Structure 1
Amino acid sequence: MLQVIPIQSRSQISEIFANYSPQTQSWLVSDLRTKFELQQKILNREGHYIDESVLRASDLWKILLKRLDPGLRLVSDPFARSLLRTIMDEHAEILGVNSSAEDTVFSYIDQMAAVIFHPEGTQRLEEWFENHPEAMNRWKEWYLRARFCAIKLLQDHRVITADWITAYLQNFNDLERVWNIPLIVDLSGEISRVEAEILRILSRSVDVIVLEPSPEWKEDFHFLLKPYEDLRAQSPKPVPLKPVSKKEKRKEVLRFSGMLAEIKNAVGLSRQWLDSGIKAESIAIIAPDIETYWPVLQAYLEEEGIPVQKDITHKAQSLPAVTRWLAYLRSKSGRLSSSDLEISFFEREEAQQLRYEEFKALFKSLYVNEDLARNEIVQKVFHDQLDMSGLLGRDEFVAKALMHWHSQETDIVQVILRELLQNATSSNKLVWKEWLSYLESIVAAKEYTLEKGNPQGLMVTKLMSAYSDKVQYRIFLGMTDEALRSRNKTQLSGQDYFDLAKDIGFYLDNPDQSDLAFELRLLAEADSTHDVYCFGATDLSGTLCSPATFWMSLEGEHEVLSVPAETRWDELQYAVDPGLRSLVLPRKEIIEKRIQQDLGKLPQDLISPKELPRISASSLKTFLECPFVFAAQRYFKLKDLPEVDLDVDHRTRGQLAHGLFEKLTVEPMRFDWTAEELDKILEDVRKEKKLIFADERLWIPQKKKHLSLGLRFLDFEKKWRQEFNKTKTLGREKQFKFYIDPQTQEITKESKENAFCISGSVDRIDGHENDLVVIDYKSSAGGTSAPGSWFKNRELQLLFYMWVIEKGLMEDVSGEVIGLFYYVFKTFDRKKGFKLEDRAGLLYPNSKRADKNANAETKEAYLSEFSQLMMATLERIKAGECEAKPVEHTQCTSCEWRRQCRAPHLS
């Protein structure tokens, strides 16, 4: 017999529970937490219960399926998806899509299961499409694809997911013969039309009491509650339950800047309630999806010392050993990605031989397996790829995967593989990528318990499991439209759902009718003492959120931004920082100081390095342009290496040109090099400089381009030396190194305390007898300026080299520098720079227009000003200056260190 009892308030359920017999009846609930709470009530009243005393609806459907079709296997969604992708690839020609559309097809199966598995479902739908051509054009093909794949899963693979069970049970006319225990059904808004039909069939042989939520506003959710209306038509008129008087409660409506502020307020308010003597088990923190809040919320509650009923769990994928395992399997499977290669390579001992920045430069851009050859060590580790050809059985895949599990801890891998073995049988055969994809989905979903919840602790739960007799103080988080609304991944419109229900009787889950919104309104009317409804304007990623309609309907100041209650972490700001006791500053003052520093209102603290950094011409310029970039490179040892990619970077091209010119300028200089000889030189330069190209085919055009450059270089040099026949190249990539104390300005060849190591390399030094010309190769004239602007533009390289030579600090090279030139090899122009006009004619030509400043006095002024600038800069470096103060903010847009920078204009 079927009986529907309207429930106006959840408190009325206690009257039904008083007459409930756990030994002879089953109480049907929707969620696990409610099941456990009901079992505890039975234990307190009866002292014991049997397994069937309280069942989740999903448990009952599984029992019925097992008894009616024992050969059909229940599998998880991820495994069903793996099989689905295989089916779609095998029948791509028929379906018109391949496995890339798996998510859409799976969504249609989920949404349309009641129609797909109904004996007459497709026929009725075909007739419906004839009267709805617009809907037919929009999603009929997707429905047919979904039906084809669902039938394949069911008939060929003999598998089904939990969400499709009730739809499949429609095919059995003798449901009542496999169940003989009377039922009390308490599913609130989580009941479907198919489930209602199953309950109606079961009522032929057993008593079925259905508790229908009947609040005054139920017409607002007419579509959602339609299954109860159908059942009510089959039920005799019920005896009304005793009305329950509603007690007064306090309600608060709070608006916060974001989810983090919601969390802080919830924890701070919970602490206030606990301090006032309220029991922890009487307090609940509730959200539509509590898992989005839980990682941060749990950290705050732990710091506060508040016990919670919720188990503290972690995802399997958060374990480093599991992450490395999957990364290694993907990397060995040809699914190259920079992140996977990094994770799997740096767990190995071989990684000690390769600096991290070098690895990132080499492998940030990966395209094919051959790219692994950019480094011998990496290639050696990943050279032997796994055989992915053909279909693999379950056991074969497990064996191959376990060969690469290198951790000593095996508990978690047993949990993961147990899930795989439960869903897949030994006869299942999939391609390697599908097995690996399934393994990844298990790892993403599998949780392991770190700490069991405290039964007397604060309740932290999702909205659909939030009802409890014990809870009187409730904090509702996430009152946003996005959190309460279902997402529709199909192309069915809201009107389609209503038309399908009205025309052919299929009440599918309509995303416009949210069971979360329904449950929220029910909970709002349940007995409690103090309810707080919170809306955060942004989520944890900073995305703007819209307030829920229900939250807006509550009385309160919706536009006033609330300040969250203080937590233990806020109190710690006032505590003394143990690591900074010498400063005798409260932590709050330290944080305020650092905020002021970030805002640029206070100078940054100075660095006290253990040893002075090495200085070169380029690092000197870097410090003058931005001390923070200098600190990143010299103190923090960060490197900005060019990435190996399909576009050959400027540094690689520059190294190739410099190496070529170095070989060609050996004295006595030859001008009759053949193309074959130049080809060999370029190959040698590439090997010496260890230049790597993303694709070997990129080397051929680069070599050809530089071979042409070499020939033009020789032609230019030949003409130059015919005109200036005394010219000899005295230094090529000439290196120097010395030590200098900026305070005493003492220069030594040996290391000395408080002295900087100065080093560098000059591209080229030409000369005759005592006259010297310093040459710096440039690919283009960009970034170079006239001597009068060198100090203004911090263009100090040529002056730096002249200062070193004139101080006699370069071995095997001595004399007077009479010219400083940029050698622009794009146009073969080496006239730009500084020169002494009265010494022209021997190593360089006269200027067309005489420059009155191109004299010895100007040169000495340059040297003097450079020396002063260098010493002053070295003093600043020695003092530990590292503030992010770029000379020009425009340089920050391309700065490699902008993510780590604390410059106020970047905040």
Structure 2
Amino acid sequence: MLKVISIESRSQISEIFANYNPKEQSWLVSDLRTKFELQQKILGRDGQYVDESVLRASDLWKMLLKRLDPGLRLVSDPFARSLLRTIMDEHAEVLGVNSSAEDTVFSYIDQMAAVIFHPEGTQRLTEWFESHPEAMNRWKEWYLRARFCALKLLQDHRVITADWITSYLQNFNELERVWNIPLIVDLSGEITRVEAELLHVLSRSVDVVILEPNPEWRKDFHFLLKPYDDLRAQSAKTEKLPKPAEVAKKIEVLRFSGMLAEIKNSVGTVRCWLEQGIAADNIAIIAPDIETYWPVLQAYLAEEGIPVQKDITHKAQSLPSVTRWLALLRSKSGRLSSSDLEISFFEKEEAQQLRYEEFRALFKSLYVNEDLARNDIVHKVFFEQMDLTGFLKRDEFVAKALISWNADETDIVQVILRELLQNAISTTSLTWKEWLSYLESIVAAKEYTLEKGEPRGMMVTKLMSAHSEKARRRIFVGLTDESLKGRNKTQLSGQDYFELAKDIGFYLDNPDQSDLEFELRLLAQAESDEDLYCFGATDLSGSLCSPATFWMSLQGEHEKLTVPLETRWDELQHSQQRGERPLLAGRKQQVEDRIEQDLGKVPYAPILGAELPRISASAVESFLECPFIFAAQRYFKLKDLPDIDLDVDHRTRGQLAHAIFEQLTIEPMRFDWTVPELEELLEKVRTEKKLIFADERLWTPLKRRHVQLGLRFLDFEKRWRQEFRKTRTIGREKRFEFYLDPKTEEIHREAKDNCFRISGQIDRVDTDEDGHLVVVDYKSSSGGISAHASWLKNHELQLLFYMWVLEKGLMEDVQGEVIGLFYYVFRNFERKGFKVEDLAGALYPASKRKDKNATYEAKERYLTEFSQILMTTLDRIKNGECDARPADYKTCTTCEWRRQCRAPHLN
């Protein structure tokens, strides 16, 4: 017999529960938390209960399915999706789409399951389409695709998901044969039309009591509650409980700047309630999706020491061993990505032979498997790629996957594989790609418990599980339109849902009728002492949110922004003033010091290493540009190597050009180099420099261009030396090294205490027969080169540094007086720089315009000023200066260390 009891408030259910006999009846609920709470009540009242005393609706439908069709396997959504993608690829010509449309097809199966699995569903829908051509054009083809794939899953693979069970059970008329326990149904707004039909069928053989929510505002959710109308029309008896007395309670409507403020205020409020003597299990924090709040909320509650009933769990994918395992499987199966390669490689012993910066430069851009050969070590580790052709049986995949599991712990991999083995039978065949995709979905969803919840702790739960007689003080957070409304992933319009229900009797889940909003309004009417309704204007990522209609309908100051209450973390920042123990005071002082440093009010502590850093011309320039850049390179040993990409970087081109010029200027210079000789030279240079390219085909045009560059260089040098016949090159890529004490300005050949090791390399030194020297530095373009009068001002010290070294006689085999400093731009073979005009004619031409700074006096002034800058800079370096104080803030826009920098103007 079917009986419907109309209730206006959840508090009325306790009257029915008092007369409920758990030994002879089953109480049907929608969620696990409510089931657990009812079981505890039965245990407290009767001292025992049987499994069927309280059931979730989903558990009942699974039991009926197992008894009616034991050969049909219940599988998870991710596994069903993997099978669905295989089906779509196999029948792509028939369907007109392939597995790339899997998400859409799966959404249509979920949405239309009641029609797809109904014996007359497709026929009725086809007739309906005839009178609704606009809807037919919009989504008929998608429905047919979904039906085709759903029947393939059901009939060929013999699998079904939990969401489709009730729709499939419509095909069985003997439900009453497999169930004989009377039911009390308490599903609130989560009941569907199909479930209502199944309950009506069961009522033919057992008593079924339906608890129908019937609030005053029921008409606002007419479509959602339509199943109850049908049940009431079919029932043998209806009953309406007396209206409960209204109980006054305190209500607050709070608006916050964002979710974090909601969390802080909620934790602060809970703390106040606990201090007032309220028991923790009488307090609840409720959200439409509590998992969005939980990671941050749990951290705040833990700091307060507030116990919660909710287990502390972590996703399996958060474990490094699991992350490395999946990354290794993807890398070895040809799904190359820089991040996967990094994760899977740097946990191996071989990784110690390769710096991270070098690895990143080599593998930031990956295109094909052959890119692994850019480094012998990496190539050796990943050389053996898995055979991805054809289909694999379940056990074959598991065996291959386990070969790559390198961690000592096996508990988590057992949990992951248990899920796989439960869904896939031994004969299941999928491609490697699908198996791996399914494994990834298991890892993404699977959780493991770090700490069990405290049974008598505070309740932290989602909206659909929030009904509780114990919760007398409740905080509702996340009351946004986005969190309460469902998303329609199909092309059915709101009108389509109403037309389908009116014309052919299929009440599909309409996203415009939110069961979350219905439950929220029901909860608001439930008995409690105090309720807080909170809205945060932004989520944790900073995206704007819209307030829920229900929150706006409450009486309160909706426009007033509430400042959240303080938490324990706030108190820790003020602990010194409150006389807390020294440990907390010290922590607070450290925080304040770091804030002051970030604001630029307090200098950073100097870096005083055991040894003084090595100094070069570029190092001095870097320090003057910004001390932090120098520290990053010299102290922290950070590198920013050019990435191997399809666009050959400037450094590689520069290396080739320098190496060619070095060989072509060997005295006596030859000007009759042939193209084959230059090509052979370039191949030799490539081998010696170990140059690597993203694609081997890039080398041929690059080599051709540098052959032409070499020929043009020889032609220019030939004409230059015909004009300046005394020119001879006596230094090519010439290295130097010495030790300098900035205090005494003493120079030593051997290492000394408190001395800097100074080294460098001069691209080229030319001389004449009279002991004069010209320093040449090769540049690919003239961009960024200043006139010599601005060198000191712009901290362009490289050529002045080289002149200072030569004038000090620090190169034993290169002696003479420097009379010219030139940047040699090999794009147009132009020389820019400083020269002594009085000596023009032997090594360089005279200027067309008279330069008053091109004199011996100017040269001596440059040497003096450079020496002062060098000694001052070395003294600052010796004192450990490392503050981020750029000489020009424009530097920061292109600085390679910007992300690591703590400069005040960047924070």
Sort the TM-score into its range (normalised by shorter chain): over 0.9
C-alpha offsets along residues 648-668 of structure 1, whole Å, 9 cap, x if unaligned? Answer: 111111111111111211222
C-alpha offsets along residues 550-573 of structure 1, whole Å, 9 cap, x if unaligned? Answer: 112222222222222222222222
**Distance in 1 (alpha carbons) for counterparts of 2:887 and 2:218:** 67
Q: CA RMSD of the aligned region, Å?
A: 1.8
**Distance in 1 (alpha carbons) for counterparts of 2:855 and 2:629:** 36
C-alpha offsets along residues 820-854 of structure 1, whole Å, 9 cap, x if unaligned? Answer: 01111100112x10000111111111112221220
Query: What's the secondary structure of 1:740's corresponding residue?
Result: strand
Query: What's the secondary structure of 1:294's corresponding residue?
Result: helix
Match of 2:258, as an amino acid?
A: G
Could you tell me which runs of 5 or more consecutive residues in structure 2 were left unpaired when the two chains were aligned.
none
The match for 1:636 is 636
Deviation of the 1:757 alpha carbon: 2.1
2:419–2:442 contact (8 Å) kept in structure 1: yes
Deviation of the 1:244 alpha carbon: 2.0
1:332–1:386 contact (8 Å) kept in structure 2: yes
Match of 1:824, as an amino acid?
A: V
The match for 1:9 is 9
The match for 1:574 is 574
Deviation of the 1:603 alpha carbon: 4.2
Deviation of the 1:302 alpha carbon: 1.5
Match of 1:801, as an amino acid?
A: Y
Q: How does 1:656-675 map to 2 (within 5 A)?
A: 656-675=656-675
The match for 2:789 is 788
**Distance in 1 (alpha carbons) for counterparts of 2:807 and 2:667:** 23
Match of 1:853, as an amino acid?
A: N
Deviation of the 1:809 alpha carbon: 1.9
1:309–1:454 contact (8 Å) kept in structure 2: yes
Relative distance call for 1:381 and 1:526 in structure 2 (3 A) is same
**Distance in 2 (alpha carbons) for counterparts of 1:409 and 1:313:** 18
**Distance in 1 (alpha carbons) for counterparts of 2:167 and 2:223:** 19
TM-score normalised by L of structure 2: 0.97
Deviation of the 1:810 alpha carbon: 2.5
The match for 1:740 is 740
In the alignment, is residue 616 of structure 1 matched against residue 616 of structure 2?
yes
**Distance in 1 (alpha carbons) for counterparts of 2:834 and 2:801:** 13
C-alpha offsets along residues 849-880 of structure 1, whole Å, 9 cap, x if unaligned? Answer: 22122000001111111111122222222333
1:777–1:825 contact (8 Å) kept in structure 2: yes
Query: What's the secondary structure of 1:189's corresponding residue?
Result: helix
1:736–1:811 contact (8 Å) kept in structure 2: no
Deviation of the 1:442 alpha carbon: 0.6
Deviation of the 1:887 alpha carbon: 3.0
1:183–1:207 contact (8 Å) kept in structure 2: yes
Query: What's the secondary structure of 1:747's corresponding residue?
Result: strand
Q: How does 1:254-333 map to 2 (within 5 A)?
A: 254-333=254-333
Relative distance call for 1:880 and 1:471 in structure 2 (3 A) is same
1:766–1:774 contact (8 Å) kept in structure 2: yes
For structure 1, which segment, 652-661 or 8-17, has the greater mean C-alpha deviation from structure 2 after superposition? Answer: 652-661
The match for 2:539 is 539
1:575–1:587 contact (8 Å) kept in structure 2: no
The match for 1:191 is 191
Deviation of the 1:583 alpha carbon: 12
Query: What's the secondary structure of 1:899's corresponding residue?
Result: helix
**Distance in 1 (alpha carbons) for counterparts of 2:506 and 2:232:** 18
Q: How does 1:45-84 map to 2 (within 5 A)?
A: 45-84=45-84
1:485–1:514 contact (8 Å) kept in structure 2: yes
2:4–2:239 contact (8 Å) kept in structure 1: no
The match for 1:225 is 225
Relative distance call for 1:370 and 1:39 in structure 2 (3 A) is same
The match for 1:113 is 113
**Distance in 1 (alpha carbons) for counterparts of 2:890 and 2:496:** 55
**Distance in 1 (alpha carbons) for counterparts of 2:556 and 2:588:** 34
Relative distance call for 1:893 and 1:168 in structure 2 (3 A) is same
The match for 1:178 is 178
Query: What's the secondary structure of 2:730's corresponding residue?
Result: strand
**Distance in 2 (alpha carbons) for counterparts of 1:225 and 1:792:** 79
Deviation of the 1:734 alpha carbon: 1.0
The match for 1:418 is 418
The match for 2:527 is 527
1:645–1:693 contact (8 Å) kept in structure 2: yes
Deviation of the 1:761 alpha carbon: 1.1
1:327–1:344 contact (8 Å) kept in structure 2: yes
Match of 2:240, as an amino acid?
A: P
**Distance in 2 (alpha carbons) for counterparts of 1:808 and 1:841:** 25
In the alignment, is residue 857 of structure 1 matched against residue 857 of structure 2?
yes
Match of 1:816, as an amino acid?
A: E
Could you tell me which runs of 5 or more consecutive residues in structure 1 were left unpaired when the two chains were aligned.
none
The match for 2:696 is 696
Query: What's the secondary structure of 1:293's corresponding residue?
Result: helix
For structure 1, which segment, 351-360 or 679-688, has the greater mean C-alpha deviation from structure 2 after superposition? Answer: 679-688
The match for 1:815 is 816
Query: What's the secondary structure of 1:309's corresponding residue?
Result: coil
Match of 1:697, as an amino acid?
A: R
**Distance in 1 (alpha carbons) for counterparts of 2:286 and 2:751:** 66
Query: What's the secondary structure of 1:419's corresponding residue?
Result: helix
The match for 2:653 is 653
**Distance in 2 (alpha carbons) for counterparts of 1:583 and 1:807:** 56
The match for 2:503 is 503
The match for 2:561 is 561
1:576–1:587 contact (8 Å) kept in structure 2: no
**Distance in 1 (alpha carbons) for counterparts of 2:610 and 2:200:** 81
The match for 2:591 is 591
Relative distance call for 1:570 and 1:764 in structure 2 (3 A) is same
C-alpha offsets along residues 277-316 of structure 1, whole Å, 9 cap, x if unaligned? Answer: 1111111111111111111111221121111111111111
**Distance in 2 (alpha carbons) for counterparts of 1:698 and 1:115:** 58
Deviation of the 1:799 alpha carbon: 0.8
**Distance in 1 (alpha carbons) for counterparts of 2:868 and 2:709:** 40
The match for 1:844 is 844
**Distance in 2 (alpha carbons) for counterparts of 1:754 and 1:247:** 83
Deviation of the 1:101 alpha carbon: 1.0
The match for 2:156 is 156
Query: What's the secondary structure of 2:127's corresponding residue?
Result: helix
The match for 1:626 is 626
Deviation of the 1:464 alpha carbon: 0.6
Query: What's the secondary structure of 2:470's corresponding residue?
Result: coil
**Distance in 1 (alpha carbons) for counterparts of 2:245 and 2:903:** 62
The match for 1:29 is 29
Query: What's the secondary structure of 1:461's corresponding residue?
Result: strand
For structure 1, which segment, 558-567 or 545-554, has the greater mean C-alpha deviation from structure 2 after superposition? Answer: 558-567
C-alpha offsets along residues 565-612 of structure 1, whole Å, 9 cap, x if unaligned? Answer: 2222222223469xxx99997544543443343344554444333432
Deviation of the 1:462 alpha carbon: 0.8
1:25–1:184 contact (8 Å) kept in structure 2: yes
Q: How does 1:427-506 map to 2 (within 5 A)?
A: 427-506=427-506
For structure 1, which segment, 314-323 or 171-180, has the greater mean C-alpha deviation from structure 2 after superposition? Answer: 171-180
**Distance in 2 (alpha carbons) for counterparts of 1:62 and 1:711:** 82
1:487–1:511 contact (8 Å) kept in structure 2: yes
**Distance in 2 (alpha carbons) for counterparts of 1:884 and 1:493:** 58
1:573–1:586 contact (8 Å) kept in structure 2: no
**Distance in 1 (alpha carbons) for counterparts of 2:554 and 2:505:** 36
TM-score normalised by L of structure 1: 0.97
Deviation of the 1:645 alpha carbon: 0.7
1:267–1:300 contact (8 Å) kept in structure 2: yes
For structure 1, which segment, 297-306 or 462-471, has the greater mean C-alpha deviation from structure 2 after superposition? Answer: 297-306
**Distance in 2 (alpha carbons) for counterparts of 1:892 and 1:282:** 54
The match for 1:379 is 379
The match for 1:824 is 825
In the alignment, is residue 800 of structure 1 matched against residue 798 of structure 2?
no
Deviation of the 1:882 alpha carbon: 2.4
Deviation of the 1:626 alpha carbon: 2.0
The match for 2:122 is 122
Q: How does 1:699-738 map to 2 (within 5 A)?
A: 699-738=699-738
Match of 2:480, as an amino acid?
A: T
The match for 1:777 is 778
**Distance in 2 (alpha carbons) for counterparts of 1:823 and 1:898:** 31
- What is the percentage of aligned positions where both structures have the same residue? 78
Query: What's the secondary structure of 1:239's corresponding residue?
Result: strand
2:789–2:853 contact (8 Å) kept in structure 1: no
Aligned residues: 904
Match of 2:843, as an amino acid?
A: L
2:612–2:755 contact (8 Å) kept in structure 1: yes
The match for 2:906 is 906
**Distance in 2 (alpha carbons) for counterparts of 1:417 and 1:811:** 70
Query: What's the secondary structure of 1:757's corresponding residue?
Result: strand
